[in-house]
Chains A and B, each alone.
Chain A
């Protein structure tokens, strides 16, 4: 009975996810598609491949994630974060290896979805996420700078004009996407005045047909795998990180939940499809998703229609797209980088704790120097964890008192708080081994021993006392060490907290 009922409810859900917001989704999809074209071209250029590769990727990924993704309303396509990671692979081995790496990335991401690694995102702290987003914005911006190299004053003026149009045109009307106006005006200007500016056509081949299914032309052997695997792993990790962070942003904006693990697998499927149709690996895009939500897009149809509009525009207007000056693209990309940057994080620098700021800034600095978001996140997470461990390690206190029992002096140490690798040394330092007493009682009832370091420290303390000829008695060791056991049986029970504080 219930087995029959489930698909019916999901049928309704499917209907609302796809057709709950048709008009706005289509409009937003169009706005997004217009902004996706310059981005996809720009990211192809960053990666060192023809614009066609990024555009095919954007088309495939936007459509596939619309169907199988876990976050309706989120836009995925070819992205800067991913493009930056593939530069080396493209330079050394060429496009076919990139396509193969894209396929492998997809497989890894599907595995991440199957093994529910999406939940690991909770170990990435807020500060690291903010650092990631800011670093991404800075990278997108930095990637535009080479376009200025060797270009004349015309380039600067055109980019300035483009930015002015993008930010000032909405004051006139908000019914026309201003990046589109920017592209049209700059293209017209450059063609009319015959300016000597590089155009999109100079950057490589543009698509003139729908993408066709074609497996990458590479030797299928271990050597190939060894070449592409490190790239695929990085791509998979960064792709999932950015996708899941974007999903969180869209969740917040729309006040609706998303399926994180489904999104992981969805990104994987999208990358496999992209790789099979001559596209580069991609992931969710923070800037485009914000544009989509801002334009009213909420459902799966928004991403789907964005993909469709994109390929339609490219195929129909291909000849005109060739004429777009790079200055217009650079202006749009600068807008995306500004919009991606978390402005609030700068204001928060003053009010947030120093440790959080340090984690955020370290993440940014590492990414900007390595051009690799995965390394930045790794360092950030490591740092945040160490800081957390340090903070918890300070939750330790030992009270001691001297008693006279049956004519013998007895020293009682009462340990309160958390003993683990980071606080083991502090724990040891509380004991006075120089004092001459007959007996020492260590009361651990209110302490928690978290790991083997804590037990080793205690062993050492007991040994030291024994060597002084002092008799040692341990109280409450069993309760204190209950936390070491890996099968965390008691922590799942509702009264776990009370139980823990009991001992």
Chain B
């Protein structure tokens, strides 16, 4: 792994994101690209509903709107810089040598889309600074990013513990197979205890898929513990994580379209919500 993209903002997740970045960087020797994206807020309205336009109406309005944006932009710029400096110091203290700092303007999804080509892993928090802490609501950005990126995405919880054992939530889908291949071929999760969990009907075909998955990992020298369970996916995964004290969930993400998700919901979203451990998502 060469480069990881670490997205921070002004939320409590920034700390966990930095810790995760330090952990990944130490294991793989990857360089860290620290990113903060300032998204200009939707323009606030002036309270002028008079509808009257006089001489110089256009230039006056332009001046007024520019001033509003200017003030806000300056504050945000300073805030973002502080945030990045702080995060950089933390990473240096944790022993990360190679750090690049990026401060961009625009939408997070767009910026990540531009940068991801050079990246091997993207790290961000479950929620951003604008999301509240009601566990039922995810950051608006997370799903958008998760659906848009082509690289693995590590989503951190509010705190980050070094990972000792991790769970692969396997369903045989192309994205889950991608996750499997990644783990088998990359140093990131080598030498850690691995569990592979499949949820579904218990029959020969499913068993076969699971055994194949385990074999792939074992051939790469990873010790595997497999489990096959029946029930609603998100609940089974959450129970398993809690019971076996898993530190990380690896899974394929958002395999279905938004339309389907509107009607029957998304397993990925449910798992991200209900588990308080980081997730490594693959599309």
B42 touches A177 (CB 8 A): no
Indicate if B51 sits at the interface (CB-CB under 8 A). Answer: yes
Chain A CB count within 10 A is highest, among B44, B61, B148, for: B61
Nearest 6 Cβ contacts at the A-B interface = A296-B45, A339-B53, A177-B51, A170-B50, A343-B56, A24-B45
A169 touches B148 (CB 8 A): no
B47 touches A174 (CB 8 A): yes
Q: For A287, list chain B residues within 8 Å (CB).
A: 53
B57 CB contact (under 8 Å) in A27, A169, A290: A290
Question: Which A residues from 20 to 55 make CB contacts under 8 A with B?
Answer: 20-21, 24, 27-28, 31-32, 34-35
- Distance A452 CA – B264 CA, assembled complex (angstroms): 70
Indicate if A291 sits at the interface (CB-CB under 8 A). Answer: yes
Indicate if A354 sits at the interface (CB-CB under 8 A). Answer: no
Indicate if A341 sits at the interface (CB-CB under 8 A). Answer: yes
8 contacts between A and B (CB under 8 A): A8-B147, A9-B109, A12-B144, A255-B69, A295-B48, A335-B52, A339-B54, A343-B55
B47 CB contact (under 8 Å) in A32, A175, A180: A175
A342 touches B51 (CB 8 A): no
- Once A21-B42, A254-B43, A295-B45 are accepted as A-B contacts, the answer to whether A339 and B57 lie under 8 Å apart by CB is yes
- Once A252-B62, A342-B58 are accepted as A-B contacts, the answer to whether A175 and B49 lie under 8 Å apart by CB is yes
Chain A CB count within 10 A is highest, among B47, B48, B257, B258, for: B48
- Distance A4 CA – B259 CA, assembled complex (angstroms): 13
Indicate if B82 sits at the interface (CB-CB under 8 A). Answer: no
Chain B CB count within 10 A is highest, among A28, A169, A294, A341, for: A294
Task: Mark each residue of chain B from 132 to 153: 1 if its CB lies under 8 Å from any CB of chain A, else 0.
Answer: 0000000000001001100000
- Distance A253 CA – B43 CA, assembled complex (angstroms): 11
- Once A24-B45, A170-B48 are accepted as A-B contacts, the answer to whether A294 and B53 lie under 8 Å apart by CB is yes
A11 CB contact (under 8 Å) in B42, B44, B69, B258: B258
Q: For B46, list chain A residues within 8 Å (CB).
A: 294-296
Q: For A300, list chain B residues within 8 Å (CB).
A: none
- Once A170-B48, A294-B46 are accepted as A-B contacts, the answer to whether A335 and B53 lie under 8 Å apart by CB is yes
A341: nearest chain-B partner, CB-CB: B55
Indicate if A338 sits at the interface (CB-CB under 8 A). Answer: yes
Indicate if A269 sits at the interface (CB-CB under 8 A). Answer: no
- Distance A342 CA – B62 CA, assembled complex (angstroms): 13
Q: Whole-angstrom distance from the CB of B65 to the nearest CB of chain A?
A: 6
Interface residues of B (CB under 8 A from A): 40, 42-59, 61-62, 65-66, 69, 109, 144, 147-148, 257-258
Q: For A335, list chain B residues within 8 Å (CB).
A: 52-54
Q: For B62, list chain A residues within 8 Å (CB).
A: 252-253
B110: nearest chain-A partner, CB-CB: A9
B43 touches A174 (CB 8 A): no
Indicate if A176 sits at the interface (CB-CB under 8 A). Answer: yes
Q: For B57, list chain A residues within 8 Å (CB).
A: 290, 294, 339
Q: Whole-angstrom distance from the CB of B245 to the nearest CB of chain A?
A: 36
- Distance A253 CA – B65 CA, assembled complex (angstroms): 7
- Distance A31 CA – B51 CA, assembled complex (angstroms): 6
- Distance A4 CA – B254 CA, assembled complex (angstroms): 13
- Once A31-B49, A170-B50, A253-B61 are accepted as A-B contacts, the answer to whether A344 and B42 lie under 8 Å apart by CB is no
B interface majority secondary structure: loop
Question: Which A residues from 332 to 347 make CB contacts under 8 A with B?
Answer: 335-336, 338-344
A34 touches B53 (CB 8 A): no
Indicate if A93 sits at the interface (CB-CB under 8 A). Answer: no
- Distance A304 CA – B144 CA, assembled complex (angstroms): 27
A179 touches B51 (CB 8 A): yes
A291 touches B42 (CB 8 A): no
Q: For A20, list chain B residues within 8 Å (CB).
A: 42
New contact pairs (4) apart from A27-B49, A293-B65, CB-CB < 8 Å: A16-B42, A21-B42, A177-B51, A296-B46
A35 touches B54 (CB 8 A): no
A8 touches B258 (CB 8 A): yes
A344 touches B50 (CB 8 A): no
B52 CB contact (under 8 Å) in A178, A342, A343: A178
Q: Whole-angstrom distance from the CB of A261 to the nearest CB of chain B?
A: 22
Q: Whole-angstrom distance from the CB of A483 to the nearest CB of chain B?
A: 36
- Distance A177 CA – B44 CA, assembled complex (angstroms): 19
- Distance A341 CA – B59 CA, assembled complex (angstroms): 11
Indicate if A167 sits at the interface (CB-CB under 8 A). Answer: yes
B53 touches A253 (CB 8 A): no
- Distance A336 CA – B57 CA, assembled complex (angstroms): 10
- Distance A338 CA – B56 CA, assembled complex (angstroms): 8
Task: Mark each residue of chain A from 271 to 302: 1 if its CB lies under 8 Å from any CB of chain B, else 0.
Answer: 00000000000000001001101111110000
- Distance A336 CA – B53 CA, assembled complex (angstroms): 7
A290 touches B144 (CB 8 A): no
A34 touches B58 (CB 8 A): no
- Distance A365 CA – B58 CA, assembled complex (angstroms): 23
A299: nearest chain-B partner, CB-CB: B42
Q: Whole-angstrom distance from the CB of A136 to the nearest CB of chain B?
A: 13
Indicate if A122 sits at the interface (CB-CB under 8 A). Answer: no
- Once A5-B148, A178-B50 are accepted as A-B contacts, the answer to whether A298 and B43 lie under 8 Å apart by CB is yes
Indicate if A249 sits at the interface (CB-CB under 8 A). Answer: yes
Indicate if A166 sits at the interface (CB-CB under 8 A). Answer: yes
Q: For B66, list chain A residues within 8 Å (CB).
A: 255
B61 CB contact (under 8 Å) in A4, A27, A293: A293
- Distance A176 CA – B47 CA, assembled complex (angstroms): 10
B48 touches A174 (CB 8 A): yes
Q: For A298, list chain B residues within 8 Å (CB).
A: 42-43
Q: For B109, list chain A residues within 8 Å (CB).
A: 9, 12
A167 touches B48 (CB 8 A): no
Q: Whole-angstrom distance from the CB of B277 to the nearest CB of chain A?
A: 28
- Distance A254 CA – B41 CA, assembled complex (angstroms): 12
B69 touches A169 (CB 8 A): no
B56 touches A177 (CB 8 A): no
- Distance A339 CA – B59 CA, assembled complex (angstroms): 10
- Once A21-B42, A24-B45 are accepted as A-B contacts, the answer to whether A338 and B53 lie under 8 Å apart by CB is yes
